[in-house]
A = this chain, B = another copy of it.
Amino acid sequence: MTLSPMPARFMAVALAEAAAAARRHEVPVGAVIVAPDGKIIAQNGNRCVELSDPTAHAEFLVMRQAASQLSCTYLDQCDLYVTLEPCALCAAAIGLFRIRRVYFGAYDPKGGAIEHGARIFSHPAAHWQPEIYGGLQETDCAALLRNFFHARR
Q: Which residues of B contact A19 (CB under 8 A)?
A: none
Q: Closest approach, in angstroms, between the C-beta of A112 and any C-beta of chain B?
A: 9
List which A53-112 residues lie within 8 A (CB) of chain B: 53-55, 64, 67, 71-74, 87-89, 91-93, 95-98, 109-111
Q: How far is the CA of A87 from the CA of B116 in the complex (A)?
A: 18
B92 touches A96 (CB 8 A): no
Task: Give the residue of B72, B73, B88, B111 whose beta carbon is less than 8 angstroms from that of A88.
Answer: B88
Complex CA–CA separation, A110 to B123 (angstroms): 10
CA distance A88 to B72 in the complex (A): 22
Bitwise, A2-40 to B at CB < 8 A (1) or not (0) is 000000000000000000000000000000000000000
- 14 new A-B contacts at CB < 8 Å, known A54-B97, A92-B92, A117-B125: A52-B71, A52-B72, A53-B67, A53-B73, A54-B96, A54-B98, A87-B92, A88-B118, A88-B120, A92-B113, A109-B125, A116-B125, A118-B119, A118-B123
